Structure 1
Amino acid sequence: MAHPSRGHAVKAVVALLGALLLGGCATPPPASVPPVTVVTFGDSVPAGTACHCTPFPDLYARMVSPVADSVNLAEAGATSADVRRALSGAPARDAVRRATVVLVMAGANDVAAALDDDDPYAAPVAQVGRNVTAALRSVHELRPGVPVLVFGYWNVVEDGVAAGDDDNRRAAAVAATAACDQALREAAAATGVTYVDTLPVFKGGTGTGDPTSLLAADGDHPNAAGHEAIASAAYAAAH
């Protein structure tokens, strides 16, 4: 006949071992992952003009996280001054405060206007540098430490087949684009953010290739393949 107290003790030990085994095998609850919010400022390129496709900021956001939120505040025709001005308004400031990544692409419209008027573009380029630098500093003030990507251009005006055969205009566009990109690169360096060079994306390592296959019919904006290429370049630069 079993001793009553001994039977209770055995049952207690078995129960304890079972609890320990279950506890050891149980999968811990997943850690809470903060939501990804990509906020974008800029002109018609990040806005997706002429593409009728998903623009690169949205594509990039999905690369970062399938459930990322893309807040695309880019607008066709926007200049660097417009981006700087936007960051003084409540909607943009609220968006930046909850951002986990900020994208900025602006300056082409500033420089293209001078190029089209045959005016020297040194002054617009300098203005691009000042405005984008100020905009980036505003972002850091609103959201200290947030990763920021600043994008350069492959051309500040039309390119590829749509650009035509005017060699003088093509040469002027190349020079103006290089100056604009340098201003953007310096703004990024001055504020400690990442610069994304789109020239090799569209024109290859030599910077002289034909970008037509990545451009919309107007030759001035990316098509779907172009937006995918920019998004991939952004992801490679930041991850």
Structure 2
Amino acid sequence: MGDDAAVMPLIDCANIACGFHASDPFTMATTVALAAQHQVKIGAHPAYPDLVGFGRRSMALSPAEVQATVLYQIGALDAFCRSHNSRVHYVKPHGALYHDMMRDEETLRAILSAVRAYHPQLKLVLPAQSNPEPWRQIAGEYGIALWFEGFADRAYQSDGKLVPRNQVGAVHHDLNAMVSQAIQFAAGQVTSCDGEVLTLPIDTLCVHGDTPQALAAIQAIRAALQGQ
């Protein structure tokens, strides 16, 4: 989704859907080839099996089913990576699965178990936390390192969580707002929708490919961060 050919030279990492919420084998193959061409680190973007709901609806899967679902998707994407002398570097769950792992420890552990089963050197991406240590401790039980993620194109609540997508103002559409938030994240902070400045250190910054002005936002953010 989005102008992948224009975006790929501007980014360091790409979250690639694995067919369960979006994409298909041909799209996965072409996207991986493009990422490999530009030496972009490839991340598996697994989701609940929900093409109709774009993976944004929770599903009542057992931990074993979550583990198998995630492991399957990592392996599918990595097959395309290997065909281009690349590999999956990290795993970032999508949509409802991304949020469910933060609400339900069994779901998080099932995902960690899948990542470890595929390759323990893979990183797992979680949303940024003001206190990341409890999450690092759980991941450490599986030997998995974490990357904490901030979003340039999403609004934050005063508790550090994302404003739900069904609320007005959840997604930034203003280019200047996205650039300002990215610069603030580079300093380990973000301003909530209530105007509160939160300490929220991150390891990686995300712009959704389906966000309006995504290409312009990425261009402007990269220029701003490189100019610091």
Larger radius of gyration: 1
TM-score by length of 1: 0.42
Larger RCO (alpha carbons 8 Å, 6+ apart): 1
Q: TM-score, normalised by structure 2?
A: 0.44
Between Structure 1 and Structure 2, the one with more strand by share is: 2
Task: Give the number of the structure whose residues are more often helix, by fraction.
Answer: 1
